[in-house]
Structure 1
Amino acid sequence: MGTDQVAGPFVVTGQRARQMRVVPAEVLKRLYTRSDAKGFIQTGAHLALLVLGGWLVLATRGTWWVVPALLLQAVFVNTLFGAMHESVHYGSFKTRRFADILAFFSGAAILNNAGFYRHYHMAHHRYTQDPLRDPELITSGTPRSWSNYLFRISSIPFVMIRVRDIFLFPFGFKGDVDYIHQSAWPEVRRWGRLLLAFYAVLIAGSILLQTTAVLWVWFFPLLVGLPLLRLYLLCEHTLCPNSDDGFANTRTTLSNPMVRFLMWNLPYHAEHHLLPNIPFHHLPEAHQHLRPHLKFVARGYIQVQGEILRSLGRSAA
């Protein structure tokens, strides 16, 4: 359990159904439409960036230019979180099999069992900002001091939890996980075994071919970029109230077009939480309908991090 839970009781407003009707029904029907073409274009573009970033890393090994190349590839690798997230919602493609394939490989790239993440994330949606039932708060809490903040950003807690997922779940061990339904565990185990087999193939192939390319193209950039992803994710709900108020318990951060592209429009996060069945390519339009009602809309992630940093230690005063 996270050492720093969000302070304060959970407030039930009962307004969720009314809030979801803010977008007209005829508009919502169109916004719910998924697209294989949009998914392939988005996936192909991100894959092209990964290939480019990997080539730059390999081409600059042995020089100082490898440092910016690794940083660039770190961004490309860690933003695969957006692809995994959209895919567990089945919003990346109209064809669910395509979404499952993308969920598996994008999840594997960031040390996630996407089968487990699907159920973890659905519980997060169901109990957003409820300190006793939201898995994000149960496992991580909210940083209330500099030490908690830095430990969170270090990604050490993330790596520890992912090691559990990778090595325990395939064999039926659940650890301390009690926030997903028992019926979900067969799927979690199945995806966990596939994930472990995939990593084994990567390691065996690298040994047989006597190459460190996988380390340079994927693993090193992954480690370099983990803190960046933690900083990003921390902005989604931190400092939002413990409430079922969909207009207030989640933050939208507008950022810039490149961030929105790499993260599959996930920065439109309040819109996504309120209407999670809207696929990524329709979230900008959903934002136009919902923005007047949203309590937390930030211009960028630096702004939000500044607010978080200024809040550290305040609750303990």
Structure 2
Amino acid sequence: MSTARINTSELLSPSQLAEVRKRSNLRGIWLVLHAWGVIFGSMALFVWMPNPLTFLLAVMLIGARQLGLAILMHDGAHGNLTENPKLNMFLSQWLCAYPMGAETMAYRRYHLQHHMNTQQENDPDLILSAPFPITKKSFRRKMIRDLTGQTGYQQRKSQIMNALALGGQGKEMSAKERALHYWNKLGRATLAQVILFAILAASGHWYLYFALWVLPLLTWHMAITRVRNIAEHAMVPDNDDPFRQARTTLAGPLARAFIAPYWVNYHVEHHLLMWVPCYNLPKTRAYLIANGYGDKMESKKNYLDVLRMATSRPDDEDGPGKLVHNARRRVAGTFDEGFSSAN
């Protein structure tokens, strides 16, 4: 069963609605340029001052902006990134989705099911929040797998094998059919990787592609994506209440830089008004609070609070549960649909 819907005219006044739903071509372009500026700037910082500290800083900043590219792709999937639809799709696909190995329209088809059935049995992202709470030991194991690249490697391996149609009916494909299947699944994403490698090679620093693009993608990006998934829907108070079936986590400057880029933390607001551009979500929250809805919205003051709650299961109950195993398998199996996380 789908959850109850709220008429947006009940939440905001006509003037407030008109203000928060405005989309800006310049703002959308700026956000995409900002993400890539931070990525290339972090690489340049390491080249200028090569040491363990600048390398670690670059990995974390780039991993966070890689998540940022996925967030901007998500906005593009909603048609929110820019006012011009063609520009919205170009930015979302070529500068956000393809570099991340995703595809905007495939993600959109998957993701809209999440919005239509949030926290219900047919929510495709329910499996990401259902296993919680877990134990601290379980969470540590997950973070170790994320930060050592094991999770990212398994997801990308599954994605590539699926694109190559290895296994199942794919065994009967001809070489031409297999090549076409790969192109349809990952061809443009592969081209984006080649372009990125060529840019770095032309700068005289080809190794940065592996050290400061692939490595952050497989490590820090995976870890903070897990934290974000937990924060958005794990252990929400009421699966049937639009104000309480998602969570907004307040984030300061450091959290926004390293964990929650581009206002991704405003998740209740996004679910209430999914056509609001990410850059208008803070204003949307301010209006909702001013209109008397602040106490109704599920919120946490920071990500540590969320993780404490999500890891509240006693350690003596630790053990690999069937639901957790299925969740891990489901995420790996759906990664090629786009950006496999709850937005």
- TM superposition score normalised by structure 1: 0.76
Gap regions ≥5 residues in structure 2: 170-181, 319-343
Equivalences for residues 185-224 of structure 1 within 5 A: 190=184, 192-199=186-193, 211-224=206-219
Single out whichever of 288-297 and 84-93 deviates more from structure 2. Answer: 288-297
2:102 matches 1:112: yes
Q: Residue 91 and residue 205 in structure 1: after superposition, are their counterparts in 2 closer, same or farther (change >3 A)? A: closer
RMSD (CA atoms): 3.7
Aligned to 1:183: none
Q: Which moved more, 1:85-94 or 1:14-23?
A: 14-23
**Contact 1:19–1:247 (CA under 8 A) maintained in structure 2:** no
Question: 1:243 corresponds to which residue?
Answer: 239
> 3-state SS of the aligned residue for 2:276?
coil
Query: Is 2:38 aligned against 1:49?
Result: yes
Q: CA deviation at 1:42?
A: 2.1
CA distance in structure 1 between the partners assigned to 2:199 and 2:62 by the alignment: 22
The Cα of 1:206 is off from its aligned counterpart by 7.9
Does the CA-based 8 Å contact 1:264-1:280 persist in structure 2?
yes
SS state of the match for residue 135, structure 1?
coil
* 1:47 to 1:200, Cα distance in 2 relative to 1, 3 A: closer
- Summarize the Cα distance change of 1:239–1:212 in structure 2 as closer, same or farther, 3 Å threshold: same
Find the aligned partners of 1:111 and 1:148 in 2 and give their Cα distance.
Answer: 28
Alignment deviations for residues 177-230 of structure 1 (CA, whole Å, 9 cap, x no partner): xxxxxxxxxxx9746331133335556888998932211231122223121221
What is aligned with 1:3? none
**CA–CA distance in structure 2, aligned partners of residues 133 and 158 of structure 1:** 26
Partner of 2:269: 271
Map Cα deviations across residues 43-75 of structure 1 (whole Å, 9 max, x no partner): 222222112101123334465642333333333
Q: Give the counterpart letter for 1:113 in structure 2.
A: E
Alpha-carbon contact 2:129-2:230 (below 8 Å) kept: no
User: Contact conserved, 1:120 with 1:135, CA < 8 A, in 2?
Assistant: yes
Partner of 1:129: 119
* Structure 2 partner of 1:24: 13
Give the 3 Å change call, closer, same or farther, for CA 67–172 of structure 1 in structure 2.
closer
Change (3 A) 1:83 1:149: same
Question: Offset of 1:239 from its aligned partner?
Answer: 0.6
Report how far residue 237 of structure 1 moved.
Answer: 0.7
- Equivalent residues of 1:16, 1:246 under 8 A apart: yes
AA matched with 1:85: H
Task: Verify the 8 A CA contact 2:130 2:234 in the aligned structure 1.
Answer: no
Q: Determine if contact 1:166/1:195 at 8 Å carries over to the other structure.
A: no
Amino acid of the residue matched to residue 90 of structure 1?
G
Tell me the residue number matched to 1:165: 159
Q: Contact 2:268–2:297 (CA<8 Å) still a contact in 1?
A: no
How far 1:109 moved relative to its partner? Answer: 3.8
Q: Does 1:256 align with 2:252?
A: yes
Which one is further off, 39-48 or 59-68? 59-68
Q: How does 1:63-142 map to 2 (within 5 A)?
A: 65-104=54-93, 105-130=95-120, 132-138=121-127, 141-142=130-131
User: 1:58·1:216 contact (CA, 8 Å) conserved in 2?
Assistant: no
Corresponding residue pairs, total? 295
Note if contact 2:232-2:246 (Cα within 8 Å) is conserved in structure 1. yes
* Contact kept? 1:170, 1:189, Cα under 8 Å: no
TM-score with structure 2 setting the length: 0.71
Q: Which amino acid aligns with 1:160?
A: Q
* Structure 2 letter corresponding to 1:223: L
1:227-254 Cα offsets, whole Å, 9 max, x none, are 1221122111111146232101000112
